Amino acid sequence: MSVLVYTEINKGRVKKASLECINYGAKIAELTGTSVTAFVNHANQEQLEEIGLAGASKIISVKNDALKSDSMLLSAAMEQVAKLEKSKIIIFAFDVNGKAIAPRLSAKLKAGLVSGAVDYPVINGDSFEVNKIVFSGKATATYQINSDIKIIALLPNSFPLSSGQNNSTIVDLDIDLSNVNSKIIIKEIKSDNVVGMIPLPEAELVVSAGRGLKGPENWGIVEDLASSLGATTACSRPVADLHWRPHHEHVGQTGVAIRPNLYIAIGISGAIQHLAGVNGSKTIVVINNDKDAPFFKSADYGVIGDAFSILPKLTSAIKKFKQNQN
Amino acid sequence: MKILVAISNVPDTTAKIQFTEGNTQFNTAGVTFIINPYDEWYALVRALELKEANLAEQVTLIHVGLIDSEATIRKGLALGADDAVRIDSAGPDAFSVAEQIANYAKSNTYDLILVGKETINFNGSSVGGLIAGVLDLPFVSLATKLDINSNKATIEHVIDGGSQIVECELPLVISCAKGMAEQRIPNMRGIMAARTKPLTVISATNQTNLTSITSYVLNPGRTTCKMMNEDNLDELVKLLHTEAKVI
């Protein structure tokens, strides 16, 4: 009857979004008087420890090379584990892989799926309700899940990460994938090659710039500001389309949707499509030389003026603040 | 090769979002509806390009919705789809929509089923994966490039921290993202031709409601933007620390 959480390792770390799901699953287990089981493939001792600290009471540890990134295989693996664990609640992160695996599992188990949940479920007898963001961030809908088994895909950065004591037991499991007719052949993997920077969907601090920067050669001051904060850099759609910055940095409706704690937008006017990808940010700072830029209406703090003079000043103010903190 | 493109009927990106009937229904009064942009710009246009390159014989639109969405379906036909199917159901949730589409696809063999990466009203990113799950077909999500070579699709798609190129034999389901194709505007000839293209209405089969929406609430917008002076950015940093508590 455990709450089952799909957990992933990426670039040598347990994904932050997965750890959030374990925290989230632990809270639901507490609400429902059950326990939380994490499923993970190819985790080492240190990673298993991290999963335990996030609140998993049991870790189903699989070492299966056939379990590659094909939602058909991953969904089949989760289906087997869910049956074994008799799980009634299954949690995924609402990220690249969760978006592919959770719907497939939902169809297989005839389990109602709420994708992009932002709150803990409210459970009242047979009623099971979860809130999710709709209309590209403009509204929240309360979903009732009617099926016996329930799947929730949790929007990353919905809750701060917490870590406690590791009381987990590790169970090694063999997954049988012989009946799965996977037809996807991976030919080439292209990495974004961002060394040492937190990936955008996981970033808590993001510094983003738009056409107001006038050209790719001017990004030095944006990167300086980002590195003073330990933030990840992003950009608006025109900037990615003009190839001033790589496409994976593009945030907005057609690019990546993010919800960091702090989003600093520089020289971005704030078109509705851009806002749709960033309006979930907790705090928004807008820097623009046009006092009528629509983005100011969706910001918490604004600075009107020339980015080329403001950015170096802001970077040194942050450095000074960091020094005083130490 | 036959391509099935699933399209959703959604409020225009700039539409005012309001709710009615005790916040249980979206208020459609005065709202313009469009083809979900990801379904149109990426899935449908790429399907049309494949047909123009003689790699596909037929592009069929499928939509689960009521009669009021037919204007949106006609727009898809004006862009160049050959025919359309409307399954007459309000489509209460993503699973029921996917199940209807899958049931239709099962009895009418398609080599490729394309959907957009998500709808702009429910943002669930789930219909493609659900269709693939019901039909037990391979699924590639967030595709940015798609090519067809005899019985095989070559797809580039987004993965964590980058992208990957995969090959898969047909049939399969693909969700389409930016990069697949560019937006098109229907021309007069297309609009005229769309009026007489076949739009078949079929009734919904057994409906499964795994989820239902009980209420909506508008998210509070940001009320005030505190304007800071560029010569006093220490104050901004202080507020980010003490007031916003984000650094």
Nearest CA in chain B to A274: B13
Asked if pLDDT for residue A193 goes beyond 70, the answer is no
Half-sphere exposure of A176 (CA within 13 A, CB side): 4
Nearest CA in chain A to B237: A318
Residues of A with Cβ-Cβ distance to B126 under 8 angstroms: 99, 102-103, 106, 113, 115
Nearest CA in chain B to A311: B230
Tracing tokens 């389309």 back to the chain, one arrives at A241
Q: At what angle do helices A220-229 and A307-325 cross, to 10 degrees?
A: 20
Measure in Å the smallest separation between the Cα of B174 and chain A Cα atoms: 10
Any residues with CB less than 8 A from the CB of B61 and at least 6 apart, and which?
A: B5, B6, B7, B44, B73, B76, B77, B81, B83, B84, B85
Measure in Å the smallest separation between the Cα of B54 and chain A Cα atoms: 24
Q: Count CB atoms within 10 A of the CB of residue A285.
A: 25
Range A104-123 average pLDDT? 97
Tracing tokens 């509204």 back to the chain, one arrives at A139
Radius of gyration of chain A (CA): 21
Query: Which of B154, B163, B177 lies closest to A190 in CB terms?
Result: B163
Residues of A with Cβ-Cβ distance to B154 under 8 angstroms: 187
Asked if pLDDT for residue A192 goes beyond 80, the answer is no
- Secondary element (H or E) of residue A134: strand A127-134
- DSSP letters, chain B, are -EEEEE--EEE-TTPPP-EETTTTEE--TT--EEE-HIIIIIIIHHHHHHHHTTS-SEEEEEEEE-GGGHHHHHHHHHHT-SEEEEEES---SHHHHHHHHHHHHHHS--SEEEEES--TTT----HHHHHHHHHT--EEEEEEEEEEETTEEEEEEEETTEEEEEEEESSEEEEE-TTS-------HHHHHHHTTS-EEEEE--S---SEEEEEEEEPPPP---EEE-TT-HHHHHHHHHHTS---
**Which residue, among A181, A212, A207, A105, has the nearest Cα to A150 in the 3D structure?**
A105
Identity of residue A271: A
Q: Which two tokens stand for residue B15?
A: 């539409």
Per residue in B90-126, pLDDT (tens digit) is: 999 999 999 999 999 999 999 999 999 999 999 999 9
Query: Which of B98, B121, B139 lies closest to A72 in CB terms?
Result: B139
Q: Do B126 and A194 touch (CB under 8 A)?
A: no
Nearest CA in chain A to B225: A300
Residues of B with Cβ-Cβ distance to A225 under 8 angstroms: none
Q: Do B126 and A135 touch (CB under 8 A)?
A: no
Distance of CA A218 to the CA centre of its chain: 29
Whole-number percent of chain A with pLDDT over 90:
90
Q: Do A96 and B141 touch (CB under 8 A)?
A: yes
The edge-to-edge listing of strands for the beta sheet with B83-88 is: A185-191, B162-169, B152-159, B139-149, B172-176, B112-116, B2-6, B58-65, B83-88, B199-203
Measure in Å the smallest separation between the Cα of A115 and chain B Cα atoms: 5
DSSP A201: G
- Please state whether the peptide bond connecting residue A199 to the residue before it is cis, i.e. omega within 30 degrees of 0: no
Q: Testing the interface with B: which of A8, A10, A115 to mutate, by most B Cβ within 10 A?
A: A115
Phi, psi for B120 (deg, rounded to 5)? -85, -5
What is the model's pLDDT at position A143?
A: 98
Distance CA(B80)–CA(B57), nearest Å, equals 12
Residues of A with Cβ-Cβ distance to B227 under 8 angstroms: 301-304
DSSP reduced 3-state for A211? helix
**Which residue, among A147, A168, A17, has the nearest Cα to A88 in the 3D structure?**
A147
CB A234 within 8 A of CB A208: yes
Query: Which of B11, B130, B230 lies closest to A305 in CB terms?
Result: B230
Any residues with CB less than 8 A from the CB of B196 and at least 6 apart, and which?
A: none
CB A252 within 8 A of CB A237: yes
User: Reduced to 3 DSSP states, what percent helix, strand and coil does chain A have, rounded to the nearest 5?
Assistant: 35, 30, 35
What is the model's pLDDT at position A275?
A: 95
Query: Which of B38, B222, B237 lies closest to A321 in CB terms?
Result: B237
Measure in Å the smallest separation between the Cα of B14 and chain A Cα atoms: 7
Q: Testing the interface with A: which of B26, B100, B125 to mutate, by most A Cβ within 10 A?
A: B125
Half-sphere exposure of A147 (CA within 13 A, CB side): 24
**Which residue, among B204, B48, B207, B197, has the nearest Cα to B112 in the 3D structure?**
B48
Q: Do A273 and B13 touch (CB under 8 A)?
A: yes
Distance CA(B226)–CA(B242), nearest Å, equals 14
Asked if pLDDT for residue A196 goes beyond 90, the answer is no
Residues of A with Cβ-Cβ distance to B213 under 8 angstroms: 141-144
**Which residue, among A177, A194, A203, A165, has the nearest Cα to A280 in the 3D structure?**
A203
Per residue of chain B (247 residues), what is the pLDDT tens digit?
999 999 999 999 989 999 999 999 999 999 999 999 999 999 999 999 999 999 999 999 999 999 999 999 999 999 999 999 999 999 999 999 999 999 999 999 999 999 999 999 999 999 999 999 999 999 999 999 999 998 999 999 999 888 999 999 999 999 999 999 999 999 999 999 999 999 999 999 888 899 999 999 999 888 899 999 999 999 999 999 999 999 9
Work out how many CB contacts closer than 8 A connect A with B.
271
Nearest CA in chain B to A113: B211
Tracing tokens 């802001």 back to the chain, one arrives at A314
CB B50 within 8 A of CB B111: no
Residues of A with Cβ-Cβ distance to B179 under 8 angstroms: 247
Any residues with CB less than 8 A from the CB of A45 and at least 6 apart, and which?
A: none
